Amino acid sequence: MNLKLLYFARLRETLGISREVFTLDAPATVADLLDHLRARCGVWTTELAVERNFRVAVNQEMANASTALNDGDEVALFPPVTGG
Amino acid sequence: MNLKLLYFARLRETLGISREVFTLDAPATVADLLDHLRARCGVWTTELAVERNFRVAVNQEMANASTALNDGDEVALFPPVTGG
Amino acid sequence: MKITVQTETFDLNAEVAALHRNNPSVGAVASFLGTVRNESGQVSAMALEHYPGMTEKALSAIVQEAQTRWAVIDATVIHRIGPLAPCEPIVLVAVACAHRGDAFAACEFIMDFLKTRAPFWKKETTADGGQWVDARDSDETATQRWRKPCH
Amino acid sequence: MKITVQTETFDLNAEVAALHRNNPSVGAVASFLGTVRNESGQVSAMALEHYPGMTEKALSAIVQEAQTRWAVIDATVIHRIGPLAPCEPIVLVAVACAHRGDAFAACEFIMDFLKTRAPFWKKETTADGGQWVDARDSDETATQRWRKPCH
């Protein structure tokens, strides 16, 4: 399945990417996706480490590691929010 | 001693007076003053009955029955406040 | 601190700007605007009476108490008196702080005490004539919840 | 309900008037204005990034949750994005209700959830370059206190 990945704020800058299409075998969860991204090594491994504080939204709703992914989903990775 | 009495809002209208100078023997408390005012009978007795809901301020600060009065004090009687 | 009792209306933008004064420590302004309600459709006008002298003292004491409880940078209280039409503004309380928690708490505290401790009285005019508004028990309850616990 | 994400500033008077709309049921408008702080004197500018699409959804969900909890007549949320100078307004939350208790609670609830659930990120510019602002634990704590007790 194809996922549309979006990166925001500090993560976007550190990872050096704002969006990409990512292909992943179904079935998969957010945890599976993160494992694949960490396998890119370097900043991907350190920035997306389990103990790092970041958030994942699937189709513009807050998600967690066990959220299931489907073909065409929009998955966003970003730091804790700081607006207001 | 001479007291300057002020009446506000519903009490002012019901008692038919907005201000007066009242002479009272010292020492006296708010309770003593109220007893003298109730002795005027009629609306004075009913409006200032102990069970009626009204407030007393002495020199522009909220007071109670035991507050002591001194010559020249400004004593105000009024209903519970309803601003805001 | 600005405490004003006035017959004329006020300008929210101007009051908030004057309170903020481009002070870079201010990050939060909480404000409350009270307006004349006319839920029944029967109220043609309202009149506000007050106790000149005591009103300003009472409002100052309330704001000062808020300043001892929260990190208030500045605060404004404006209360109108005299005749008012439905929907017109009655009261403005605005509080500037570094952070929002202090601003919300101080603003609500000032309003709760204004409602029960500041000598204002409302009289509504309907087709039946004038009627003094009764105090609400819920206002006293709102004030009581700010009591500090005993030590 | 009005939810807006915009680069330009906003007018407090106009927003409150539009929210109140001379509705005689409205007796209370609580509002919160957040401005760019510069306590250190080091911040020359701030930039706000957001997640278009999700931002509006998240803000709508927060306001709708507030409407299920309190008697909200209408609410407005405006959040600015892009470059901002110190002291400039960032966010406005205004809530119109019949009574002040609902207005204060709903306004503070919306701000607390906006701070932790709406996808905005602040970046400060100082002489040393750009620095993403860190999330504050106190904001998450403020959000958690709105949790409903279990039954």
Instruction: Give tens-digit pLDDT for A50-73.
Output: 999 999 999 999 999 999 999 999
Residue whose structure tokens are 């100052």 = C60
For residue D151, pLDDT over 70 is answered with: no
Q: Which of D51, D53, D115 sits opposite A84 (nearest CB)?
A: D115
Residue in A closest to D130 by C-alpha: A10
Instruction: Kindly report which listed range (A1-5, B4-8, C129-133) carries the lowest average pLDDT score.
Output: C129-133
D121 touches chain A (CB under 8 A): yes
Give the predicted TM-score (pTM) of the model. Answer: 0.96
> Could you count the other beta carbons within 10 Å of the beta carbon of residue A65?
12
Prior bond of C89 cis (ω within 30°): no
Residue whose structure tokens are 């009149």 = C47
Which residues does chain D have within 8 Å of residue A73's beta carbon, measured at their own beta carbons?
none
| CB contacts < 8 A (A, D) | 73
Q: Which residues contact B33 (CB under 8 A, 6 or more apart)?
A: B3, B22, B24, B69, B75
For residue C134, pLDDT over 70 is answered with: yes
What pLDDT is attached to residue C151?
63
C123 touches chain B (CB under 8 A): yes
C101 touches chain D (CB under 8 A): yes
Query: Which of A75, A80, A70, A62 lies closest to A11, judged by CA?
Result: A80
- Residues B27-44: what's their mean pLDDT? 97
For residue C27, pLDDT over 70 is answered with: yes
Which residues does chain D have within 8 Å of residue A83's beta carbon, measured at their own beta carbons?
48, 50, 79, 90-91, 114-115, 118-122
Q: Which of C13, C87, C108 sits opposite D22 (nearest CB)?
A: C87
For residues C82 and C79, give the distance between their C-alpha atoms in angstroms, rounded to a whole number.
10
Helix axes C54-69, C100-117, angle to 10 degrees: 150
In angstroms, the Cα distances linking B54 to B77, C54, C116, C135, D95 are 7, 16, 12, 11, 34
Residue in D closest to C41 by C-alpha: D24
- Residues D92-109: what's their mean pLDDT? 98
For residues B35 and B45, give the distance between their C-alpha atoms in angstroms, rounded to a whole number.
9
Q: State the smallest CA–CA distance between residue D151 and chain C in angstroms.
A: 24
Mean model confidence pLDDT for chain A: 97
User: Is D33's CB within 8 Å of C28's CB?
Assistant: yes
What is the per-residue pLDDT across B10-19, written as a single tens digit (0 to 9) for each? 999 999 999 9
What pLDDT is attached to residue C148?
85
| CB contacts < 8 A (C, D) | 104
What pLDDT is attached to residue B17?
98
- Residues C62-69: what's their mean pLDDT? 98
For residue D68, pLDDT over 80 is answered with: yes
Which residues does chain C have within 8 Å of residue D13's beta carbon, measured at their own beta carbons?
11-13
Q: Which chains are within 8 Å of A by 3+ CB pairs?
A: D
